[in-house]
Amino acid sequence: MSKPKVGLYWCASCGGCEEAVVDLAEKILDVVAAVDIVFWPVALDFKKEDVEALADGELTAIFINGSIRLSEQEEMVHLLSRKAQYVIAFGSCAQLGGIPGLANLADRESIFEYVYRDAPSVVSTDGVFPQTRLAVPEGELKLPQFWDRVRALDEVIDVDYYLPGCPPTPKLIANALTALLEGKLPEKGAVLASSRALCYECDLNPTKPEKPSLKDIKRVWEIIPEPDKCLLAQGIICLGPVTRGGCEALCVKANMPCTGCFGPLDRVQDFGAKGLSAISSLFASNDEAELEALADKIPDVAGLFYKYSLPASLMFKGRGNTSER
């Protein structure tokens, strides 16, 4: 009996999710014993034509990381979706849009002018910019269309499961693969990690006050945190209380606060708004001026609370790939 086939593909991705799979280390040998990886551009030489040659549904699962930024990515995920039984959104970018989703705050035209003309090191020749279709002496070349907005994967194709994280941890990846192969996946749409907030997994949880109270907010470079004490209690903004657990608080173990890469808990639609709500509720003052001063200690609200999830936010999700003019 032949092994189940799987594929891994990257859209607007950094490749970190691929590295997380390689970080399975010796377990990867078990994986390749159990499945046939028939498409994985970072590591294997199978090409697009090999995917096109597959029958519909021939892949048991396709793991797709990266967000949808370019038309080519949109085409590829539609193709892969047809060829697979299960689509798994792998990593923060596929689930929520990821850090490159912050580009949704920017205006495309001004970006273009900066990168291809105004950046200090660019030597521009007659305002040349990349073209989606170009006649060259030898024939025609194409580049994919660059959309105005980043989108998460489920805005473009139907997604069966989400593996959160930037990147997902090898442990969670291994658990997901096991569940897939043993037919023990939960109901469709589930996020394959913990259903509780990160605080529950954090070693510093016992030192978190019943009601944390932010009298002052410290940026990470302003303070050397006391070891073994909840970072939020020390005035460092940590998003542990609103972030899905499953990563075992790796960042906090390295003395840095959680930045929310595992995304929201169930029934939360907008991670950034929830994070903003939770953190601001902790401001230790009822005085207008003091509250203003505290809020000023968070100079980049969107960057802090929506670092990984802007495309999936209420303001952007379902709004399409072009900006309103």
Dihedrals φ, ψ of 203, to 5°? -60, -25
- When asked if residue 133 is in the footprint of other proteins (CB under 8 A), the reply is yes
Sign of torsion over alpha carbons 83, 84, 87, 91: negative
Query: Could you say which of 3, 56, 57, 124 contacts other proteins (CB under 8 A)?
Result: 124
- The mark string for 287-316 relative to other proteins (x by CB under 8 A, - otherwise) is -x--xx-xx--xxxxxxxx-x-----xxx-
Q: How far apart are CA 199 and CA 142, in angstroms?
A: 48
Contact range with other proteins by CB under 8 A, out of 77-85, 101-109, 202-210, 228-236: 101-109
Q: What is the nearest approach in angstroms of other proteins to the Cβ of residue 320? A: 8
Q: Are 83 and 57 in contact (CB under 8 A)?
A: yes
Nearer to other proteins, 46 or 205 (CB): 46
Closest alpha carbon to 243 in 288, 267, 291, 275: 275
Site for other proteins in 164-203 (CB under 8 A): 166-167, 169, 172, 175-176, 179, 184-190, 192-196, 200
Q: What is the nearest approach in angstroms of other proteins to the Cβ of residue 1? A: 19
How many Cβ atoms sit within 10 Å of the Cβ of residue 180?
22
Q: What is the nearest approach in angstroms of other proteins to the Cβ of residue 77? A: 14
Site for other proteins in 40-59 (CB under 8 A): 41-49
Q: Are 321 and 97 in contact (CB under 8 A)?
A: no
Query: Could you say which of 2, 120, 206, 211 contacts other proteins (CB under 8 A)?
Result: 120
Site for other proteins in 220-279 (CB under 8 A): 220-224, 245-246, 250-251, 253-256, 259, 264, 266-270, 272-274, 276-277, 279
Q: How far apart are CA 90 and CA 81, in angstroms?
A: 14
Query: Could you say which of 56, 75, 111, 215 contacts other proteins (CB under 8 A)?
Result: 111
162 pairs with which residues across the strands? Answer: 89, 191
- Amino acid occupying residue 325: R
Q: What is the nearest approach in angstroms of other proteins to the Cβ of residue 92? A: 9
Nearer to other proteins, 229 or 314 (CB): 314
**Count of residues near other proteins by CB under 8 A:** 146
C-alpha dihedral, 120 to 114 to 311 to 282, nearest 10°: 50
Q: How far apart are CA 102 and CA 297, in angstroms?
A: 20
- When asked if residue 20 is in the footprint of other proteins (CB under 8 A), the reply is yes
Q: What is the nearest approach in angstroms of other proteins to the Cβ of residue 209? A: 17
Q: CB-hemisphere CA count at 13 Å for 79?
A: 19
Q: How far apart are CA 141 and CA 73, in angstroms?
A: 18
Site for other proteins in 202-221 (CB under 8 A): 219-221
- When asked if residue 61 is in the footprint of other proteins (CB under 8 A), the reply is no
Q: How far apart are CA 303 and CA 125, in angstroms?
A: 34
Site for other proteins in 68-97 (CB under 8 A): 69-70, 72
Nearer to other proteins, 85 or 298 (CB): 298
Contact range with other proteins by CB under 8 A, out of 39-47, 56-64, 82-90, 203-211: 39-47
- CA–CA–CA angle 287, 288, 289 (5° rounding): 95
- When asked if residue 60 is in the footprint of other proteins (CB under 8 A), the reply is no
Contact range with other proteins by CB under 8 A, out of 18-26, 56-64, 78-86, 204-212: 18-26
Closest alpha carbon to 60 in 10, 6, 3: 6
